[in-house]
Structure 1
Amino acid sequence: MTSIGQLSRARLAGRPADYAALGLGRAVAVWEDGFRTAPGGPGTWEWWYFEARLDDGSTLVIVFYTKDFTEGGAGPPRPFVTLELDRPDGTRVSERATAHSGDHDFATGRCAVRIGASTFTGDHRGYRVHAELDGVTADVVLTPRTEPWRPETGHIYFGEDDERFFAWLPSVPSGSAEVTLAVGGRAERRAGTGYHDHNWGDTPVTGLIDHWYWARAAAGPYNVIASHITSEERYDRAEFPIFMLARGNRIVADDCTLVRFATYDEDDDPGTGRPVAGTLVFEYRAADPGDDGYRVTFTREDTTPGAPRAADLGELDEIGGFRNALAKIAGFDGSYLRFTGEVQIERMHGGQPAETHTAAALWELVYPGRTPGSIS
């Protein structure tokens, strides 16, 4: 297998020429959260994702999509919004609203998205989300605690000539969320922690990525976003460890070249046959021996009840947020697994733990699978 630092047919774009070609600086600019695939031609896709973990134990996910991935880019785009509300007692509210023809707007200079009566707007100072769906209304005020971030340019290029790409921008890695919900005429106000990211590309991920782990967690004063992406065999199964660790509102570790990823205690999941790790470890090694390093360990306890174990089309409504869309385009051989367990975040100094925090955590493993007619 190839790693992030070796020659392969897939690479994380981080060269000075990449920044220049994309018109990017090291700091994230407001326009980067605008419409990046304009005018939205065939093969392109894009979404703006919001997630909150609320004070009553609920999880709320709202996603704005430029088009339906299950249609393969054919026909005119019909943007839509999804809302998933998972209660701690296991009940779920799941709604989707598709815009009428032309009833949508996507700004390119900033995040200003409108799909029908629903809107997603904001910048580095904060975001507001308003979602109107059948019998459900949500209003969100998301206030960032951590500055916007991306791994290098946020683009992974695929092919000998960088002809395809997948892009990711965590606009709000961590924030506070104030949420007003009206479900079936009953109103409630909640607070919690929030997250917003933005993804886009020019090719379905089914032809680019073999699988990935993805996790977001908080323990003590730390917040972490961690992912490990493995490209398809045609792209040499290149591996991309992605890592961002913030202490309070300051990012303290995000150089992906310093990250080592390892899995332990793997066994085959009985529902999918896919290998599943009992433990994931992201080790961030300090560039200077006198600096702090970090070790983040996810220890699996169980697969979340109700999460589908295979991308069977009859089960996909059980997957929340943008992972639903990814699974729907995956075909029958894709799979999605969500895990619960514990995260341990350690600050390392001189090779020894100098600070340790633990908390409950949730993470995922996705095999997008392949669709008929995917690229070769």
Structure 2
Amino acid sequence: MQIVYLFSSVLLTAALAHENGKVAYPFRLFNGTSSVEEISQQDQMDAPKIMPHVNATTFEWWYFDAVSTTSQNESLTVMFENMGPEGLGAPYPGGPLAVQISGSFSNGTAFTIITAATKGAVLEWGGGGVRGEWRGAGSSFAGKDHREYTVSIANPGIGVYGTMTLRSVSPPRYPCDVKERRASEQLIPNMYLANSQPDAIVEVDFNINESTLKFSGIGYHDLSWGSAPLESSVHSWYWGHGRLGRYSLVWFDVMGRDGKEYFSAWITEAGNVILCGCEPDSVLVRPWGENSGFPPGRGTPAPSGYSLRYDLGQNQIFIANFTREVNIIDNDFTKHIIGLFSGGFEGGEQYEGRAMADQFQFGDL
């Protein structure tokens, strides 16, 4: 299906030209051409990026996660999805709007719950703030100035109630730039990113089918979207975030279907940016231990962990190591995992912390 991009779409430019906006999405696909934003707009980091609505091959999701630093195994991820059936390759609930809730309890037991927003979704944005409500799913999120977000769920049909609150400790960014007007939002061809919270202090207080999930830890929030099915753009993908002492880290290392390797590196020290870029090998991620073939193909089990090498230039190298502990989502195409995190500058003080990581693997072995 043909996609018309931002610069050739007068309608999309007009729709997103104002700082304040509101859109209501129905629980059905758009049967036509969808327009996709590629260049950032002022104070619209969390605004919808696909207009007038997703069709069968496009997608966007508002993603929030939390990893406990007060217990070993606890985590929570909430994704507000707006997707065509071919967009993400995820379970399709009969319409484009769904909320996926996944996580793990202190005993290491993982769960995934998907609920459809059959009554549609409403998004409002302006002045750096945003509010989204997925109606029929009992789920919403709200944020202000990219500094604090709250995710709320009250859905008796799936037995999930609670709130997640995230307070930023690392400034917002795009794949290759800090937050600014008219920055490129492209992560890889046909895939885009706006990362409002690369790192956050998070508080989680949830009840999942009468089991308590309550902890403090590190959090993360972004908005991702695509102009073509994810599987058609990505062969394999390593992503993650973590905190080591005063350092906040995010990594993307993606092998595209075009055979090229794409990178997006981010490190802040006490909230100050010391690395932001997409240069080759700015962050090199490789699996280690069991199942450490590169690149991974569909059906490959999760590796023991990942080694990360950030190149800040001028002979400054930051080395980090992720050790897998809990598989939250584990299927032929997706690994969503939490684990131990350690590292620091070569020759400098070393730190320990926690991290969340994803591995996508759509290519054949």
Give the TM-score normalised by structure 2.
0.71
Aligned partner of residue 207 in structure 1, secondary structure: helix
Q: RMSD across aligned C-alpha pairs, in angstroms? A: 3.4
Inter-CA distance 360–238: structure 2 relative to 1 (3 Å threshold) = same
Partners of 1:337 and 1:125 in 2: CA distance: 25
1:187 is displaced (CA, Å) by 6.7
Q: In structure 2, the residue corresponding to 1:32 is in which secondary structure?
A: coil
Query: What's the offset of the Cα at 1:254?
Result: 1.1
Q: How does 1:45-194 map to 2 (within 5 A)?
A: 45-54=59-68, 55-57=70-72, 58-67=74-83, 69=85, 77-101=95-119, 103-107=120-124, 109=126, 110-116=129-135, 117-123=138-144, 124-133=146-155, 134-152=158-176, 153-156=184-187, 158=189, 165-184=190-209, 190-194=215-219
- State the match for 1:251 in structure 2: 273
Q: Could you tell me which residue of structure 2 aligns to residue 336 of structure 1?
A: 335
Provide the residue aligned with 2:349 in structure 1: 355
Does structure 1 conserve the Cα–Cα contact (< 8 Å) formed by 2:81 and 2:98? yes
Distance 1:70 1:137, change over 3 A: farther
* Candidates 223, 239, 243, aligned match of 1:198: 223
Moved more, 222-231 or 267-276: 267-276
Residue-by-residue CA offset, 1:128-169 (whole Å, 9 max, x unaligned): 2111232111212221111111222231453xxxxxx20112
Go from structure 1 to structure 2 and tell me whether the alpha carbon gap of 1:166 and 1:144 turns closer, same or farther (over 3 Å shift): same
* Cα distance in 2 between the residues matched to 1:100 and 1:33: 22
2-structure distance, mates of 1:306, 1:24: 32
- Determine the C-alpha separation between the residues in 2 that align with 1:89 and 1:167: 36
How far did residue 362 of structure 1 move?
A: 4.8
Q: Deviations over 1:241-295 (max 9, x none)?
A: 2110011121211133271526476764699458968652323132xx4xx7232
Q: Structure 1 residue 114: deviation in Å?
A: 0.8
Task: Choose which of 244, 249, 256 in structure 2 pairs with 1:219.
Answer: 244
- In the alignment, structure 2 segments of 5+ residues that lack a partner are 1-36, 177-183
Contact 2:131 2:143 in 1 (8 A): yes
Contact 1:56 1:88 in 2 (8 A): yes
Structure 1 residues 363 and 104, CA, compared in 2 at 3 Å: closer, same or farther? closer
Partner-residue secondary structure (3-state), 1:254 = strand
**Aligned: 1:298 with 2:316:** no
Identify the residue that residue 316 of structure 1 maps to in structure 2: none
**1:36 offset after TM fit, Å?**
0.8
Q: 1:41 aligns with which of 51, 54, 58?
A: 54
Bigger proportion of residues as strand:
2
- Shift in CA distance, 191/268, structure 1 to aligned 2, threshold 3 Å: closer
Report 1:275-290 matches (<5 A). Answer: 279-286=306-313, 289=314
Distance 1:127 1:198 in 2: 13
Match of 2:16 in 1: none
Indicate the SS of the match to 1:82. Answer: strand
Instruction: Point out the structure with the larger helix share.
Output: 1
SS of structure 2 residue aligned to 1:94: strand
**SS of corresponding position for 1:31:** coil
Q: Please state whether the residue corresponding to 2:218 is helix, strand or coil.
A: strand
Percent identity among equivalent residues? Answer: 17
Cα deviation 1:205-262 (Å, max 9, x = unaligned): 1001110111212111111001211111xx2x11112110011121211133271526
Taking structure 1 as reference, are residues 99 and 267 closer, same or farther at Cα in structure 2, changes over 3 Å only? Answer: closer
Which amino acid is 1:220 matched to? G
User: Given that residues 78 and 100 in structure 1 are in contact (C-alpha distance below 8 angstroms), is that contact kept between their aligned partners in structure 2?
Assistant: no
What is the TM-score with the length of structure 1 in the denominator? 0.69
